[in-house]
Amino acid sequence: MSLMTNKAALRGVFSLALAALFVTVGCQSSDHSDPDAVMREGIEHVLFATPADSSVACYRIPALDEVGGVLIAAIDERVPSCQDLRANRDSNILIRRSFDKGSTWEVAQRVMDYEDGVAASDPSFIVDRSNQRIHMLVNVMDHDDAPGQYRFHLISSDDFGATWSAPVDITDQVTPSEWANDFMFVTSGHGVQAEDGTLLHTIVNLQRGVHVLMSGDYGASWKLAPSPVVPGDESKIITLEDGSWMVNSRVAGAGHRWVHRSLDRGASWISEPDSALVDPAVNASLVRHPEGLIFVNAHHPDERANLTIRVQKDGAWQEVMTLEEGSAAYASAAILEDGSLGVFYERKGYTENVFQRIPSAIVNRWFDQP
């Protein structure tokens, strides 16, 4: 498989015009009696929107992270249809970067675009803070030579997303041969780096559970943690202050999230439902703040709507903000270097992908900090 082909070259002119498709707007008119609304004005940007000419069916599956003060937002460019990887022959990965905490954004660049019939989807970042390298994991499928088989590809950048390495297929490093035809995929969004430097992420095998993907050598090699997490679908992993691992999982039909914790690096798990985290079975985001946890999802038992931010301090979840009352689906959040919170999410029936930044003064207030 070649990463860039004649198909991509033919789109060269189109790539120069991408900015015209990605609208930047201010927040909707706010109630100025609400101090949060006042502080949020002017920080909403539509980064990717379905074009009116139908040249791209949709942009889906947002991922967001920051490295060296540079924000990077990644997305699927789904060309012939909005279908997922198994039913889409032409899906590529685009990114946009911001150097001012999301106030302005570079024009999009296409970082993964294989030959016709080979599709890429579900971008997810892991930042190695020790060397400022950012890795991107992506699911890939060759619809002609290996239809129905998922592969995990890794690209990396040492210059804050300006350029990216050639893709490396890590599938055979981490999955046994009997998994070849399983429904399995890397969870989109972002992973995390543990205090000891280990890079952590999650992959889902719908037949065999959620598995923690890990690297102890800066991303040079990868393996799976010893035991799977059950039940679970798309999941987020964080490390807690005591060094334990927490996985927060989407579970179909549950109406809420499940939380799994390991005290022994994935050798065993303590699993329990969390009824406070209402969820319609959607990909969500979980990040660790110095004073607690921040969780972002479509807070509804059966509809992808009502995108909400919750924080956990002293063991209890509290709703602190609604970002989108109507249609909203996948979300990816990151705590920025200045303590503000960036959220990149889908809305309006998957026709818009929006970035919002919540200032650090508001985030601190959630945790009763000055």
pLDDT in tens, 170-224: 999 999 999 999 999 999 999 999 999 999 999 999 999 999 999 999 999 999 9
Does position 318 have pLDDT exceeding 80, yes or no? yes
pLDDT at 324 over 80: yes
**Overall pTM surpassing 0.95 (yes/no):** no
User: What is the mean pLDDT of the segment spanning 84-93?
Assistant: 98
Residue 26, pLDDT score: 39
Using DSSP bridges, classify how beta strands 223-224 and 235-239 pair: parallel, antiparallel or unpaired.
unpaired
Class of domain 6-366: mainly beta
Domains of the chain: which residue ranges? 6-366
DSSP conformation letters of 260-284: EEESSTTSS-EEEEEEEEE-SS---
pLDDT tens per residue across span 9-47: 434 334 434 444 444 443 333 343 444 453 444 489 999
Choose among 214, 220, 94: nearest CA to 164: 94
- Reported as a single tens digit per residue, the pLDDT across 301-311 is 999 999 999 99
What span, in angstroms and rounded, lies between the C-alpha atoms of 132 and 181?
35
Q: How confident is the model at residue 331 (pLDDT cuts 50, 70, 90)?
A: very high
